[in-house]
Amino acid sequence: MARADLKFERKTQVLHVLGFWLEEDVSGSDAGFAAALARGLRRLADFVGAQDLSDAPVRAVCPAYVAMPGGWV
């Protein structure tokens, strides 16, 4: 559904989304996809111990993610 290039910076405890690409059959305006993406990012952040998320590449291509109340939290 999408591909992401991620990096966890231990020193600052920030999970960085370096790149994010939607597959052809996925729409960045799909609220269900955005909710699942936010849950997945939250689970990954919890797993690696991240305290923050740098998600500009996701925000650039997924308006439904940007429109979600509370974002990735």
The stretch 8-32 carries a mean pLDDT of 92
* Alpha-carbon span 30 to 7, nearest angstrom: 25
Residue 69 scores a pLDDT above 90? no
- Here the tokens at position 53 are 């998320």
The stretch 31-45 carries a mean pLDDT of 93
Residue 62 scores a pLDDT above 80? yes
The stretch 36-52 carries a mean pLDDT of 95
Radius of gyration of the chain (CA): 12
For residue 71, with 0-12 CB atoms within 10 Å meaning exposed, 13-18 middle and 19 or more buried, which class applies?
A: middle
Q: Which band of pLDDT confidence, cut at 50, 70 and 90, is reported for residue 72?
A: low
First-residue to last-residue Cα distance in the chain: 21
